[in-house]
């Protein structure tokens, strides 16, 4: 499978926070974006609810990650299994 590059523009503070959270999750920002893109393609929709009733600062990334991981472990996300997420992380760590 051919690899292509993609550029994403975001606020520098958001990028810093995203990178730090991704490291806590054991993955790079690149891996996180790949996991997200695969979930969108597999489901044909954004794989989480987008809501406007909370301020950005109130969002807890680690809570969201733990929630999604629990959903994957319990089989509630059959289109993107925990094994597939872990495979993506391992491929990125190996430079595949």
Nearest to 69 by CA among 19, 13, 14, 24: 24
What does each C-alpha distance from 56 to 19, 50, 53, 59 come to in angstroms?
17, 12, 10, 6
pLDDT value at residue 62: 63
Q: What is the mean pLDDT of residues 64-84?
A: 69
pLDDT value at residue 57: 44
Q: Which two tokens stand for residue 72?
A: 């994957």
> How far apart are the two ends of the chain, measured CA to CA in Å?
11
Q: What is the mean pLDDT of residues 42-52?
A: 78
E-assigned strand segments in the chain: none
Q: Does 55 score more than 50 pLDDT?
A: no
Q: Does 6 score more than 70 pLDDT?
A: yes
Of 30 and 66, the one with more pLDDT: 30
């Amino acid at each position: 499978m051919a690899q292509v590059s993609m550029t994403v523009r975001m606020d520098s503070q958001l990028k810093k926070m995203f990178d730090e959270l991704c490291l806590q999750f054991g993955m790079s920002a690149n891996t996180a974006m790949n996991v997200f893109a695969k979930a969108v393609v597999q489901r044909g929709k954004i794989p989480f609810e987008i809501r406007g009733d909370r301020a950005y600062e109130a969002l807890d990334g680690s809570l969201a990650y733990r929630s999604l991981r629990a959903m994957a472990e319990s089989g509630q996300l059959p289109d993107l299994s925990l094994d597939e997420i872990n495979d993506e992380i391992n491929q990125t760590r190996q430079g595949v």
